[in-house]
């Protein structure tokens, strides 16, 4: 376990060094200075009585997101979009890590924000699949409340700056989805469906996919889902692997859902 911990620490520090250029390093440093100024102000001192365990996580995130649209009546996927692995800023807030008495179990009450876009349509036939850029896109923006239950590995009472955490929680908040796509999985449109099958299984030209129904959509409202993560913290630096999903009812015909897998390196800034 000792060697695994040292290896993960070295990997997280290497990832940070490779990811942060001068401008991004200055961005993190400026945030730390600003938080220190707020902390020592009169307004900050009053607020900190309530936020004494709260913190922000600021860093960088590498993630890939897939977005699927299912028929409400059949629960079958009508079309799916898939994004590339991309690097983006990370910003989350938490009211603190709260433990149940002296146990290793605890909970967090936090919030998160992200905005992401997918450009490739994902077509699956049986066990095989392919991605294709059909000049379509899907963009999603989410602001979510994220209550989480977690378990800390090790004695968190004496090793708060060097431990692992495994957590699972819910996501609920506001989301906005907009974009356009070809309905590539419509089995009632034989010309479209057969074109997708030939493209995936036999490498035939995807030109026939242009016969699929073309949809434009835009919707906002309540979204909900779940999240699971594994994190390692060392002196307020956090390396984290996570997966999460969000769902939203676009209209009476479709339900939208998104899933992402991400790796992040961030710095914890307390209040």
- Tell me: the pLDDT tens digits for 62-73? 998 898 888 887
- pLDDT above 70 coverage of the chain, percent: 78
Report the pLDDT value the prediction gives residue 235, as an integer from 0 to 100: 83
242, pLDDT greater than 50? yes
What separation, in Å, do the N-terminal and C-terminal C-alpha atoms of the chain show?
A: 32
Which residue did the predictor score with more confidence, 225 or 9? 225
d(CA 8, CA 186): 45
Instruction: State the chain's mean pLDDT as an integer.
Output: 82
Most confident of 24-28, 229-233, 249-253: 229-233
d(CA 53, CA 35): 14
Predicted TM-score (pTM) of the model is: 0.72
Instruction: Tell me the pLDDT band of 168, cut-offs 50, 70 and 90.
Output: very high
123, pLDDT greater than 90? yes
CB 240 within 8 A of CB 266: yes
Report the pLDDT value the prediction gives residue 180, as an integer from 0 to 100: 93
What is the count of structural domains for the chain? 1
Report the pLDDT value the prediction gives residue 3, as an integer from 0 to 100: 43
Q: Average of pLDDT values for 216-245?
A: 91
Report the pLDDT value the prediction gives residue 81, as an integer from 0 to 100: 92
- pLDDT above 90 coverage of the chain, percent: 37
Instruction: Tell me the pLDDT band of 22, cut-offs 50, 70 and 90.
Output: low
- Tell me: the pLDDT tens digits for 72-114? 878 888 899 998 888 888 888 888 888 888 888 999 988 888 8
Report the pLDDT value the prediction gives residue 217, as an integer from 0 to 100: 86
Report the pLDDT value the prediction gives residue 194, as an integer from 0 to 100: 95
163, pLDDT greater than 70? yes
Q: Residue written as tokens 């630096």?
A: 237
Q: Average of pLDDT values for 210-233?
A: 91
Q: Average of pLDDT values for 38-42?
A: 68
Dihedral sign, Cα of residue 34, residue 15, residue 116, residue 71: negative
Report the pLDDT value the prediction gives residue 86, as an integer from 0 to 100: 86
Ranges 42-51, 116-125, 199-208: which has the least confidence: 42-51
Per the structure, the complete domain to which residue 27 belongs is given by 2-270
Q: Average of pLDDT values for 220-242?
A: 91
Q: SS3 sequence, the chain?
A: CHHHHHHHHHHHHHHHHHHCCHHHHHHHHHHHHHHHHHHCCHHHHHHHCCCCCCEEEEEEEEEEEEEEEEECCCCCEEEEEECCCEEEEEEEEECCCEECCCCCEEEEEEEEEEEEEEEEEEEEECCEEEEEEEEEEEEEEEEEEEEEEEEEECCCCCCCCEEEEEEEEEEEEEEEEEEEEECCCCCCCHHHHHHHHHHHHHCCCHHHHHHCCEEEEEEEEEEEEEEEEEEEEECCEEEEEEEEEEEEECCCCEEEEEEEEEEEEEEEEEC
Report the pLDDT value the prediction gives residue 70, as an integer from 0 to 100: 87
């Amino acid at each position: 376990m000792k060697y695994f911990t040292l290896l993960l620490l070295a990997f997280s520090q290497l990832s940070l060094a490779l990811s942060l250029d001068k401008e991004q390093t200055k961005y993190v440093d400026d945030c730390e200075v600003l938080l220190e100024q707020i902390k020592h102000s009169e307004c900050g001192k009053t607020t900190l009585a309530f936020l004494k365990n709260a913190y922000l996580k600021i860093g960088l995130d590498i993630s890939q997101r897939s977005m699927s649209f299912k028929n409400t009546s059949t629960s079958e996927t009508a079309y799916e979009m898939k994004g590339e692995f991309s690097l983006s800023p990370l910003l989350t807030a938490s009211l603190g890590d709260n433990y149940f008495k002296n146990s290793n179990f605890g909970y967090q009450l936090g919030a998160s924000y992200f905005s992401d876009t997918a450009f490739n349509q994902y077509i699956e036939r049986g066990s095989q699949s392919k991605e294709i850029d059909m000049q379509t896109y899907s963009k999603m923006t989410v602001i979510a409340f994220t209550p989480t239950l977690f378990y800390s590995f090790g004695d968190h009472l004496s090793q708060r700056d060097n431990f692992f955490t495994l957590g699972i929680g819910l996501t609920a908040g506001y989301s906005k989805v907009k974009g356009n796509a070809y309905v590539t999985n419509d089995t009632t449109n034989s010309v479209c469906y057969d074109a997708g099958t030939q493209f995936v299984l036999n490498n035939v030209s995807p030109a026939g996919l242009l016969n699929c129904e073309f949809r434009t959509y835009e919707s906002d409202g309540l979204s909900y889902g779940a999240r699971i993560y594994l994190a390692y913290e060392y002196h307020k630096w956090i390396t984290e692997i996570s997966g999460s999903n969000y769902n939203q009812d676009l209209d009476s015909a479709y339900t939208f859902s998104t899933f992402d897998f991400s790796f992040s390196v961030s710095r914890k800034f307390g209040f």
